[in-house]
Each structure stands twice: as C-alpha cells, then as structure tokens.
Structure 1
Amino acid sequence: MSPINLTDLPAEGESSGLPKYEQLRDHVISQIESGALKSGVALPSENRLAESLGIARSTVRQALSSLERDGLVLRVHGKGTFVHDEAKQRLRKSQDLFALIVPETETGFYPSFQRSFEEAAAKLHNQIVVCNSNNDVDKQASVILQLIDLRVAGVAIVPTTLATTPSFHIGQLQKNNIPVVCCSRPVQGASAPLLAIPFEEVGFRAGQEIRQAGHQHVAFMATCHVLATDLYERGFRRAMGRGGTIETFFGSGKPTDYAALEKECGEAIDDMFGKANPPTAIFCGFDSVAETLYLQLAQRGIRVPQDVSIVGFGGTHRGGGIASHLSSVMLDEIGLGIQAVELLSQMRNGQVPIDTSDARELAVSFNGGNTLSAPPSK
C-alpha cells in the first residue's frame, strides 16, 4: 500500500482552518472515496503516521478514533487498524443525505415545507434527515456538529430567532465543504444563498386586505419580539396608513409552547376587549397564533368575524380544521422546499459557489378564507 502522505498539509490554524487530526481524518476518507484505500487494507501504525507527519501520536489516535466511531475503520487489538469492509457504502449513504434544520415541525408551513423538501430530494435520489432545533441556538449547534460528523451532502436551515444564529454555525458546515442554504431569514455575517420570506411584504399584504375590508382600529400579535416581527409591523403600518390605529402584543415563548401561547393570547384578548373601543381586526404573525386566538375568542363568546376579524400567515397548504378557514397571507412553502434542494444540488456539483450570497424572495399570496369581513356596525 502507498503510504498516506500529509506532510504538505497546513499547520493547525492556517489556511485549512482545521486541526491536524481532522485533516488526517478527512484525508483518509478521501482516500477511501477515491478507491486508493480498499476495504480491508491496513493503515500504517500510529507510530509510523505520527513520525512521518511530524505530529503527536495522540493526534493520530484522535483521528483514528473518529473514523472508528463513524464505522469507517476497524481497530483490532494487537493487529492494527483496517479499512472497514462497508466503509465506502457508508460514505456513499452520507453523501446522498440532505439535512433540513427547522425551529419546529408541528405547526404553520413547516410540515408541508418538510414534505416538499423530501419530495424534491427524492427526485435527485437523495434521502433527507429532518432536525428540529426547537428554536434553541445551543441545540442547533449540537445538530450541526452531528451533521458534520455524518458528512451530509448539504444543509437547508431555518435559523433560530430567540437567540439569533451566529455566522460560525454556517461557517463550520462550509469549512467541511458542506453546502448551506438559509431559508426564511439570513444569518448575519454568513455568505450563503438565501431563500427569504419578504416579512415586510407579508405585513403590508395583511394590512392591505384588512384596510380594504373597512377596518381602521386594528391589532398585531406575535409569539415573540424579533427582527421579523418588526418587519411585519412596519409593512402592516404602511398599509394601514395614517388613518389607522394599531395595538401590538408580543408573547415571550416559543410557538410550540402551547400552554404559554394560550395564556398570552387570552391575556391579550382580555386587554383588548376590556376597553370601550376594542380592535375590529387582528393580524397574527403565524397561523398557529391565529388558530389559538380564534379558540380563545370563542371561549369568551366573541365571534369571528362578526365581532372581530383575524388574518394569519402560513403556507399554501391549508390542511384541515381552523387553518382551512383562516384568512391568511400565504407563503409558497412548496417552492421553498424545491428551490432549497435545487441550490444544494447545484453547490454540491460545483455549478454554484458554496459561499454565494445569492438571495431570492419567496412569493406570497392571500387566502380569502372566512375570518375576515367588514367591521361590526356601531
């Protein structure tokens, strides 16, 4: 067997940005992928590798341990380290795997976004893995490290918002030559393609529909106060114009913390309808908020849309239950999944640079539903 030669690799912290053990690990993997290292072949001993590379034996041991954890090499006590019989097949499986990281999987447009992503990937003979960050930046970091270990072919990510995603989360994937597509919102400081929700346009479209229905005293509700909700509100106020008055309500929790969402929606309703002149229409930053609000209003005997109108925001797939009846601004989440897979495939094949800053805005439309009507007569 030809010796593994890493003597020309940069030192840790130089151009590769990777420590020596990762450079050694990646080189062995590339040798397996190319066929230079065949199944069952013995690798040089730890001593020989350490001596020829001019690195510590502990560094070599760290690289081999990582390869063993991934099932790419087999270490036999007293005999040495061997390329696993199924190493190439295992690498091929990870190279065919696209990952989707989302802040939730249960509500809004995320289930149909996931479905369209999976269907688009299947057409290219790629499998997918879906990772739920729960909108937790630390959990997202852990997921990213696991995906790097899996050597996935590409990652589409909806970045966290309660604590914003740092640019190095994206950078770590790219350093490992894993393409990344940011969905919904950008990551400040990261150079990656973006499929963006036009948040201000969503708010404007909601306000436009509400104003055209004749409403002037309205409210805006969201689960938390982040950059996206500021843009929603800006567009909403622009559409309502100077003649409109807008009350704002921001929650403190996550959209899937249903107990907190119900409590905060209930408190907002009691605040609004405890006044002599309550709002006649409410724009909600997500369909899950609109659905919870609808139920909380019904419990208090407040009718939708006879007493108050509701406009939400979600995907084109309306599903059943309340969502199918909601008047909502709709995002083309099907197109989002398709475009994300297309971009990952193009970057993987070298057709698009991995660090491109190309940004595309997603199309929005409006579902009339039956929760928006003219304001109640005085």
Structure 2
Amino acid sequence: MDTIKLASGSKAGHKWQKIRDYIISELSSGTYSPGDAIPSENYLCEAVGVSRSTVRQAFRELENEGMIYRVKGRGTFLAEPDSSHKTSNDEMFGLIVPGIRRSLYPSLTQGFDDSLSLNSMQTLICQTNNDVDKQGNIILRLLHRGIDGVAIVPSTIGNTPAYQIQLLIDNGIPVVLCHRGVEGINVPTLLWDRRKVGRLAGEILLEKGHTKIAYFGVYKYEVSESHVLGLRRAMNEAGIDMPDSNIIFGPAGDQPEIEVDREKILANLLLSGNRPTAIFCSDDNEAEVLYWLAQRLGISVPGDLSIVGFGDCHRSTSTRRFISSIVIDEYALGLKAAQMLCSIRTGALNINEAESVPVELNVFSGASIAKI
C-alpha cells in the first residue's frame, strides 16, 4: 500500500514545482484539458513569478513524468493519460480520503487495501487534508499514472465540483463515492442516513431520562447539520425543545491550533452554569476529547455527564471501547468499495450506475451513558 503526498512548490530548490502545481491546478479547474497547448514561457514566468530557466526545468521534469509532450515547430502540449507502462497483471486502484487518522478512515483504508491485496492488486492511498483543490490535483496525478479505478471520500470542507469526478469517468476510470455523493455525478455511492444517526443518539439518551441534551459538531457542514435535524426530531417527538444554545459547532480545519480551540469550546460548555446532562458528539474523536476533558475537570462520566459518539464499530482504544456510539462498519465499507470498482472494471456494473448503497447503522453499547 502506497501513500501519495503532493509536493509543495514552495520548498527551497524546487521552484519548478510551482509551474507543475499551476498547470495541475488549471487542469483541475477545467481551464485546460489533455491535448491543449501549454502557455508560453513568458506567460508562465509572469503568471507564476519564476524565471525562464525555472520554466524550462519544469518542462523537462513534466516531460519526464509523461504529463506533457513537445512537438517541434508547434509547441508543448498536455498529454493524454498513459497507462502503457503498466502490465495487464499490474492493476492499481486509488483511495482518496480527507485524512488517514480520524476515526473512520483507518478502517476504511484497511478494508479497501485488504480486498485488493487478495487479488494481488496495488493500492494507492491519497489524503487531501479536506482541500478541494488538492483533491483535484490528486485526481489528475492518478489519471496520469494510469489508475484503474478510484474510490473517493469527497472533501467535507467546500463542495467537490462535478468536473473533478467527471474527468475520471470521461476517461473510462471506474469511480465509487463513499460517505457522500457529489452533485451532478451518477456513480455508485456508499452512504448512510445521517439524520438517523442523530435520531438514534437522541432516542438512546431520552430512554435514559435525559432532557438537557447538547450536540457538539466537529465543525458545521452537511453531516453535522443532518445530525442536528435527526436529534431535534427525536426530542420534538418526545415533547422536548432543544434550544439553539445547546447546538455547538467547532471551527473548520485539522490544524493543531484549531483542535485546541475546539477543546476550549467544550471546556466552556462543561463549566457553564446550565451544563447539559448528555452530549452527542459528531465524531468519536471529539467524544474521546470530551471524555478526557471531563475527567480533568472532575466531572464523572457517566455519573455527571453522559456521552454518545459516532464512528467505526472496530474499537481501537480502551477509551473508545468505553464510549457508547452510533457505529458503522467502515472496514466492510472499504471492502465493498474495492469490490464495486472491480465490478465496474470487469463490466459487471455500469460506470454511470446511479446506485446508492445503504450502510447499516448499529449501536455500540459502551459505558458512557447513565440513567437519570
């Protein structure tokens, strides 16, 4: 299993990568297409802010990578995807995820890789860091490496443009979307009912007598907003109002300083005079942070505070096994994504099959919920 990391054009000694990143970005945005002529050296010098010698070095490197080709007397052009370097027994599939550390992604990655490894196929794992532009760049890199199929968890920050996925489809590359779809794209999609996640969490807490329930979302996006809708529905059906003050979202991003900001928000919630008796967290990562924060503040879980999370059913830590959670089998989802890509590759499944494959939700009964 390999991991692709995009090089940064800002690194010393690699100024030519600024040209590569610029061209890839223009391809990703749809400004250029394979077969188009590349702008002149003078244009690129001015657009990117580098010297002519740097542009020429970039052209040499990109030509070696097979991303461009030169025609004497005509100019330099963007190459079509080329898989001639591969053998028929060297099938290679990519998995694009926002990250590889958060609660769901390790099991997804393992399931995807295990499924393909059984058939002696290669796996490329690529992380976007929730950057839509980087996601587009990775798609182009995979396309030019002659990838045989791609499973994608679209970025949760920003909307994935349809042309990024369509570029793969137009080149006959099988695509399976995981966790969420992309507007305007009809391909097999593995996803679950997000509102049901919130509703199940609410029902579990209501059954234990909780009425002062809060929600903490890692940040505000379609998934966390759907959780809130489901949670509110469960509470409304029980005749209980959920005030807006009990719905809290952290700032978007995965940088260390943002993680600190989220912890401060949770601490303020726990130290407030009107502390909730139960908190549903959008992610098991946040549920773990909440648990340890409560311990440091002398708040007993579940005696003083009940916690419900959401994540993968394969509990990887002692803390996570303690926390009650709405769960999915992310390992099985990874297996299924790989199998569907192979089915598209062999013609057993249509490349444009607009099929939504439901992922089953279950409840992991930990020890973080108490009856009141």
Provide the C-alpha distance between the structure 2 equivalents of 1:139 and 1:18, rounded to a whole number of angstroms.
17
Secondary structure of 1:260 counterpart? helix
Aligned to 1:265: 263
Q: Work out whether residues 311 and 327 of structure 2, in 8 Å CA contact, stay in contact via their aligned partners in 1.
A: yes
Please say if 1:58 is aligned against 2:74: yes
Q: 1:231 to 1:217 in 2, by over 3 A?
A: same
Provide the C-alpha distance between the structure 2 equivalents of 1:99 and 1:250, rounded to a whole number of angstroms.
32
Q: Return the letter of the residue paired with 1:362.
A: V
Q: Return the letter of the residue paired with 1:325.
A: F
Provide the C-alpha distance between the structure 2 equivalents of 1:215 and 1:170, rounded to a whole number of angstroms.
44
Please say if 1:321 is aligned against 2:318: yes
Aligned to 1:203: 198
- Residue 118 of structure 1 and its aligned partner are, at CA, apart by 0.5
Mapping of 1:172-251 within 5 angstroms? 172-241=167-236, 242-246=239-243, 247-251=246-250
Q: 1:103 to 1:123 in 2, by over 3 A?
A: same
Q: 1:18 to 1:262 in 2, by over 3 A?
A: closer
Aligned to 1:30: none
Provide the C-alpha distance between the structure 1 equivalents of 2:286 and 2:345, rounded to a whole number of angstroms.
38
Please say if 1:159 is aligned against 2:154: yes
- Residue 303 of structure 1 and its aligned partner are, at CA, apart by 1.5
Please say if 1:363 is aligned against 2:360: yes
Aligned to 1:298: 295
Secondary structure of 2:120 counterpart? coil
Please say if 1:98 is aligned against 2:97: no
Aligned to 1:283: 280
Provide the C-alpha distance between the structure 1 equivalents of 2:34 and 2:279, rounded to a whole number of angstroms.
53
Unaligned stretches of 5+ residues in structure 1: 1-16, 23-45, 51-55, 73-86
Unaligned stretches of 5+ residues in structure 2: 1-31, 38-68
- The one of 324, 337, 341 equivalent to 1:340 is 337
Q: 1:298 to 1:258 in 2, by over 3 A?
A: farther
- Residue 299 of structure 1 and its aligned partner are, at CA, apart by 1.9
**Equivalent residue pairs, number:** 306
Select between 90-99 and 125-134 the one with higher mean Cα deviation: 90-99
Mapping of 1:29-68 within 5 angstroms? 58=74, 62=77, 66=79
- Residue 267 of structure 1 and its aligned partner are, at CA, apart by 2.3
Aligned to 2:252: 253
Secondary structure of 2:357 counterpart? strand
Question: Any idea what the Cα deviations from partners look like across 1:145-194, whole Å, max 9, x if unmatched?
Answer: 10011111100000012111111110011111111111000111111111
Secondary structure of 2:177 counterpart? strand
Secondary structure of 1:91 counterpart? coil
Q: Return the letter of the residue paired with 2:366.
A: G
Question: TM-score, with normalisation over the residues of structure 1?
Answer: 0.75
Q: Work out whether residues 95 and 151 of structure 1, in 8 Å CA contact, stay in contact via their aligned partners in 2.
A: no
Provide the C-alpha distance between the structure 2 equivalents of 1:367 and 1:306, rounded to a whole number of angstroms.
19
Q: 1:94 to 1:21 in 2, by over 3 A?
A: farther
- Residue 124 of structure 1 and its aligned partner are, at CA, apart by 2.7
- The one of 345, 350, 365 equivalent to 2:347 is 350
Q: Work out whether residues 326 and 369 of structure 1, in 8 Å CA contact, stay in contact via their aligned partners in 2.
A: yes
Higher RCO (C-alpha 8 Å, min separation 6): 2
Provide the C-alpha distance between the structure 1 equivalents of 2:224 and 2:319, rounded to a whole number of angstroms.
23
Please say if 1:330 is aligned against 2:327: yes
Q: 1:290 to 1:258 in 2, by over 3 A?
A: farther
Q: Return the letter of the residue paired with 2:324.
A: S
Provide the C-alpha distance between the structure 2 equivalents of 1:94 and 1:193, rounded to a whole number of angstroms.
25
Provide the C-alpha distance between the structure 2 equivalents of 1:62 and 1:299, rounded to a whole number of angstroms.
60
Supply the RMSD in Å over aligned alpha carbons: 2.5
Provide the C-alpha distance between the structure 2 equivalents of 1:321 and 1:258, rounded to a whole number of angstroms.
23
Q: Work out whether residues 182 and 193 of structure 1, in 8 Å CA contact, stay in contact via their aligned partners in 2.
A: yes
Secondary structure of 1:231 counterpart? helix
Q: Return the letter of the residue paired with 1:262.
A: V
Mapping of 1:72-91 within 5 angstroms? 90-91=85-86
Provide the C-alpha distance between the structure 1 equivalents of 2:170 and 2:187, rounded to a whole number of angstroms.
12
Q: Work out whether residues 266 and 296 of structure 1, in 8 Å CA contact, stay in contact via their aligned partners in 2.
A: no
Secondary structure of 2:259 counterpart? helix
Q: Work out whether residues 153 and 178 of structure 1, in 8 Å CA contact, stay in contact via their aligned partners in 2.
A: yes
Q: Return the letter of the residue paired with 2:74.
A: S
Provide the C-alpha distance between the structure 2 equivalents of 1:234 and 1:183, rounded to a whole number of angstroms.
22
Select between 241-250 and 333-342 the one with higher mean Cα deviation: 241-250
- Residue 200 of structure 1 and its aligned partner are, at CA, apart by 0.9
Aligned to 2:60: none
